[in-house]
Structure 1
Amino acid sequence: MPGNLRELITASFDAAAANAWSKFTVGEADKRVLNEAALKVLKIFPGRMPGQCALMSALYSLALEKLGSQRSYVVAGSLYIGDKRVFGEDNEFDGKELFSNSNVDWDGHAWVVYGDWLADVSVCRTADAGTPRILSKYIAKELGKGKGLLASRMAAIDPSGIRYVPQYVLTQDQVDAVGRGALAIIDKLNGIR
């Protein structure tokens, strides 16, 4: 994943950003930032809300930007349990076009990379909602129910378990737009508007 991810970051940002990302190793203080930013996002999104990965990941990235010392990246692609695809497709998709639309109709998954770590604030919420069943069973068995954040050093992720396949890195403009959309949805859910 890291080689492909470096190319995707370069395509959406530039070579300097990809270089900085590849040199950033998450330390103890950074792990606290990952957790604190996740808690902020999980508090404002209701539990058991599937299909919100892009919205939650964008907000998570923006929270990390405010709290952290390094840039994080929202990654879009496919999610597998072992060799069974849960979300996404094998075919390439036009992320630049897809995430520039205000109504994203997409069957993939989104998560955040922060240095050498992968962090996902939506997968446990989706699993707790009960569908797809393979994801719900896997998360319940491996992590338990009611969890919020799945975060791990990328090198430690067991490909026979949950597997993330990056296909696109959202640009900063796309992250900002999706984040604004997420806040608008939350306002509506909370009856603020």
Structure 2
Amino acid sequence: MASFDAAAAETWSKFTLGEADKLALREAALKVLGFFPGRMAGQCALMSAAYSIALEKFGTQPGYVVAGSLYIGDKRIFGEGKEFDGKALFSKSNPDWNGHAWIVYGDYLADVSVFRTADGGSPRLLSRHIAKEYGRGRGFCAWPTTGTDPNGLRYVPQYVLMQDQVDALMRGALAMIDEMNVKRGSR
């Protein structure tokens, strides 16, 4: 899973969120959600990259984009439950990947896309679970990495994206946002 050097790992492991950092986590999430319309499935990597970049603007430390598997209890929703070559996978311009991506910001895990995916209705198990446990139309979730989501979501990290991979995904996110804005303007 290693993709950053020991110094970066050491810095990250010592970063504990204070109240200002929690506000930055929220502000950055709201900014990203404002750029992406609701009910967008399959955009976790793009949204997480945008979230990471937004955290650079609002926060005091970087937010790392983590890729892996998402479970509800013991049922895998996204991912394959086996190792993958993240360096090769996220070096492609359009990765074909069935996993999930989220942010680790200090001692917090944050997900800006899971509710949008669930609101899109697929996969059905995720959609039903999120509707039951959180309700529809939510924006993002965050909790300390030392605990687990009290409502049953379980994130299994397998790769931390490098900055050049995050930057490439961000360029893709910006292109998608520009395209959506053009479509909105032509109505």
* TM bracket, shorter-chain basis: over 0.9
Question: Is 1:188 the equivalent of 2:179?
Answer: yes
Distance in structure 1 (CA, Å) of the matches to 2:83 and 2:153: 21
Q: How many residues align?
A: 184
Counterpart Cα distance in 2 of 1:121 and 1:160? 16
Question: What is the rounded CA distance, in whole Å, between the counterparts of 2:124 and 2:50 in structure 1?
Answer: 26
SS in 1 for 2:9: helix
TM-score, with length taken from structure 2: 0.95
Please tell me whether residue 168 in structure 1 is matched to residue 120 in structure 2. Answer: no
* Counterpart-to-counterpart distance in 2, 1:97 and 1:109: 16
- Whether the 8 Å contact between 1:83 and 1:160 is mirrored in structure 2 is no
Instruction: State the shift of 1:184 in Å.
Output: 0.4
Tell whether 2:49 aligns with 1:64. Answer: no
Identity of aligned residues (%): 71
**Cα deviation code 1:40-95 (max 9, x no counterpart):** 10000010000000000000000001111011100000000000000001121110
- Confirm whether residue 143 of structure 1 aligns to residue 138 of structure 2: no
Q: Kindly provide the CA deviation profile for residues 79-112 of structure 1, in whole angstroms up to 9, marking residues without a partner as x.
A: 0000000000112111000100001110000000
Tell me, in whole angstroms, the C-alpha distance in 2 between the residues paired with 1:160 and 1:189.
Answer: 33
1:82–1:160 contact (8 Å) kept in structure 2: no
CA distance, structure 2, for counterparts of residue 158 and residue 34 of structure 1? 17
After TM superposition, list the pairs within 5 Å mapping 1:63-142 onto structure 2: 63-142=54-133
Query: In the alignment, is residue 23 of structure 1 matched against residue 6 of structure 2?
Result: no
What 5-or-longer segments of structure 1 have no aligned partner? 1-7
Please, what is the CA RMSD of the aligned residues?
A: 1.5
User: Does 151-160 or 121-130 show the bigger shift?
Assistant: 151-160
Alpha-carbon offset, residue 155 of structure 1: 1.8
State the TM-score, normalized to the length of structure 1: 0.92
Q: Structure 2: 5+ residue runs without aligned partners?
A: none
* Counterpart residue identity of residue 61, structure 2: Q
Per-residue deviation at 1:156?
2.5
Q: Is the 8 A contact 2:49 2:170 kept in 1?
A: yes
Distance 1:108 1:159 in 2: 22
Q: Secondary structure at the match of 2:146?
A: helix
Runs ≥4 residues deviating over 3 A: none
In structure 2, distance between residues paired with 1:62 and 1:17: 17
Amino acid at match of 1:53: C
- Give the conservation status (yes or no) of the 8 Å contact 2:73–2:152: yes
